[in-house]
Amino acid sequence: MELAALGSSSVLRDADVMTSRERSRQARFRGLLIVLVVVGAPVIGRTAAGVVRYVQGNYAAAAGDFHWPHPGIPSSFLPYVPGLLLVVLLGFVLGGPLLMAGRSPHVLYRPEEIGIDLSDVVGADVVVEEVVKTLNLFLGHRTFEEQMGGTSRRAVLFEGPPGTGKTYIAKAMAAEAGVPFLFVSSSAFQSMYYGQTNRKIRSYFRALQRYGRREGGAIGFIEEIDAIGAARGGLGAGPGREGIAGVVNELLIQLQSFDVPPFSRRVRNAFIDSINRWLPPSRTLRKPVLAQANFLVIGATNRASDLDPALLRPGRFDRTIRVDVPNRVGRRQIIDYYLARKAHNAELDEPGKRDNLAGSTFGYSPVMLEHLFDEALVWALRGGREQMGWQDVQKARMTEELGLAQPVMYTEAERRTIATHEAGHATVAHFAAPGRNLDVLSIIKRREALGLLSHSGAEERFTQTRSECEGLLQIAMGGMAAEEIFFGEPGTGPSGDLAGATRLAAQMVGSYGMAGSLISLEASRAPGDLVSKALSDEPSRQAMEAFLVSAREGAREIITAQRHVVEALRDALLERDELIGDEIAAVIQEASERGPDAAPGPASVIDVRNPAPDGEPPVRAH
């Protein structure tokens, strides 16, 4: 293999792993041939002679050739057979679990049954690039060792939130490399018998070595490795009775210890040893050096910081690949990937719709996106359709994010108050933060929210300006301001909004330095969260109050000036319970065009065909 190929950005096809596999395949054939020759030759010879004699008519001699003697069981032994069988059976029942308890708990996947490869890992280009580099070193390990003197990496850590594809990528790696994949979950190592957890770890690594030797390489995957590799505390409380320290030590030993030679090698070595005992030191027979088995262990964890630092040192899990939730571009690729595999109508083929969905699913992991489409298919089925459409995806998104709708019987007055409250939020959001997309406006109860406005930034952004924060505060106050203006007093509805607004105000004052003082309360090590720190400091408390009061004034001004918009949204909500995306924008636009003095017309039914592009984290006002 060419050394330069090791740096390739695509997976190596003709690498050392393939050469080793071919070599062990040929060795297997040679072994079979030897067995056939040694054991099979006399049988074949005698049978052939029998056939020849039979053809010549010498039947008696031929019968002798076909008759094979068997040892036979002495009749005096027969009465003991049932008792013996019982003892064997009892031994199996009693001793079996103990013997099995130390077996490696992995599940084996052969490359041909994995069914995905790296081209199926979408929306994670940086990770795939890193993974290909690691894979190429694994595939070309011998060239790397022999020509460059490098030591191949035996362990890699995948760190990232659940559902981001850590197992999926590891499986794809095994499929690309054409090697067995040994999946194990950390909890499977734990055992009720003393010492068995460590034994299981040893068995697992031995299985990796065995497959690595037999098939040129093997990839092991330990899910939630933090459960067995957590930092060793002084108390020793951990999996099973061994304690965390013992388990971590075992892992460390296995990652760095010498390989256990395979059985045939051990027999050969024992034979050479027994001969060498008779020979003078200068004449002793030499034993061939055992090459390291080629395997790669991938540990997956949500929190690498919880792992014992010794596990992360060089030669162990010294490389961490961060697998994160995808960004907007990644989400778009994942949406394309799954829509190509799931029944959908032409509406979902529009690039604008797909972009919109990618924008409004900030924070979604690939598995959440996949699940979103499955949920949308269920909505389609419920509606008697065989393909999902845009509305099904939107409904699925709300179920995913906000929980199932739990319609309750509001009184007529209550319904009106909730609709006015939510319409207030939406109106302020539209006028105070024109850059935001209004995704959902609803008066259907979901979890603890009686109604809600879900809105998100038009772009995927990770920072906000002070005026954007002030805009968010105003949106939060929109519900309360509407209740005050329309009914003369607020009700209990705004409690959730006020809690959210207080938290944001505390951040603006104590963390972002937006209130004049540059002192960060976050830097203080005093107990309590940011809100309690800000509230216990009088100037900060006053600054927070000022932000909140000014936000309420701003919201009141908007609602007074745009009363007709609030009324239009309220009426649309009373009529339809829920407005999604463009439906909200259309009601606002129609009311704005009609102006404040026009008589309120019937709320129109809007065709949601081309919603505005949505963006990052949805914010909800209840």
What does the alpha-carbon distance between residue 551 and residue 385 come to, in Å, rounded to a whole number?
46
Taking the complex as a whole, the smallest distance from the CB of residue 110 to ligand ADP amounts, in Å, to 18
| Residue 173 binds to ligand ADP (criterion: CB under 6 A) | no
Taking the complex as a whole, the smallest distance from the CB of residue 212 to ligand ADP amounts, in Å, to 23
| Residue 474 binds to ligand ADP (criterion: CB under 6 A) | no
| Residue 165 binds to ligand ADP (criterion: CB under 6 A) | yes
What does the alpha-carbon distance between residue 326 and residue 334 come to, in Å, rounded to a whole number?
9
Residues 271-310 that bind ligand ADP (CB under 6 A): 300
Q: By the 8 A CB rule, do 137 and 6 touch?
A: yes
Q: Which is nearer to ligand ADP, 367 or 612 (CB)?
A: 367
Taking the complex as a whole, the smallest distance from the CB of residue 366 to ligand ADP amounts, in Å, to 3
Taking the complex as a whole, the smallest distance from the CB of residue 210 to ligand ADP amounts, in Å, to 25
Locate 408 and state its tokens: 């309750």
Residues 103-132 that bind ligand ADP (CB under 6 A): 121-124
Mask of contacts with ligand ADP, 144-163, x by CB under 6 A? ----------------x-xx
Q: By the 8 A CB rule, do 612 and 356 touch?
A: yes
Locate 28 and state its tokens: 């297997």
Ranges of H-type helices in 36-165: 41-55, 59-66, 81-101, 125-139, 141-148
End-to-end CA distance of the chain: 63
Encode 467-478: b = buried (16+ Cβ within 10 Å), e = exposed.
eebbbbbbbbbb
Locate 12 and state its tokens: 């190596």
| Residue 259 binds to ligand ADP (criterion: CB under 6 A) | no
Taking the complex as a whole, the smallest distance from the CB of residue 128 to ligand ADP amounts, in Å, to 8
What does the alpha-carbon distance between residue 80 and residue 58 come to, in Å, rounded to a whole number?
43
Residues 370-409 that bind ligand ADP (CB under 6 A): 370
Taking the complex as a whole, the smallest distance from the CB of residue 447 to ligand ADP amounts, in Å, to 25
| Residue 16 binds to ligand ADP (criterion: CB under 6 A) | no
Q: Which of 18, 617, 544 is nearest to 331 (CA)?
A: 617
Crossing angle (nearest 10°) for helices 538-561 and 563-576: 80
Helix (H) or strand (E) segment spanning residue 23 = helix 16-35
Tell me which of 54, 101, 168, 503 binds ligand ADP, using CB under 6 A: 168
| Residue 172 binds to ligand ADP (criterion: CB under 6 A) | no
Taking the complex as a whole, the smallest distance from the CB of residue 359 to ligand ADP amounts, in Å, to 19
| Residue 164 binds to ligand ADP (criterion: CB under 6 A) | yes
Residues 355-374 that bind ligand ADP (CB under 6 A): 366-367, 370
| Residue 18 binds to ligand ADP (criterion: CB under 6 A) | no
Residues 513-532 that bind ligand ADP (CB under 6 A): none
Q: Which is nearer to ligand ADP, 296 or 476 (CB)?
A: 296
Q: By the 8 A CB rule, do 46 and 63 touch?
A: no
Stretch of residues binding ligand ADP (CB under 6 A), selected from 166-174, 231-239, 305-313, 421-429: 166-174
In whole angstroms, how far apart are CA 400 and each of 221, 367, 393, 395? 29, 12, 10, 9
Taking the complex as a whole, the smallest distance from the CB of residue 219 to ligand ADP amounts, in Å, to 14
Contact footprint for ligand ADP (CB under 6 A): 121-124, 160, 162-168, 300, 334, 337, 366-367, 370
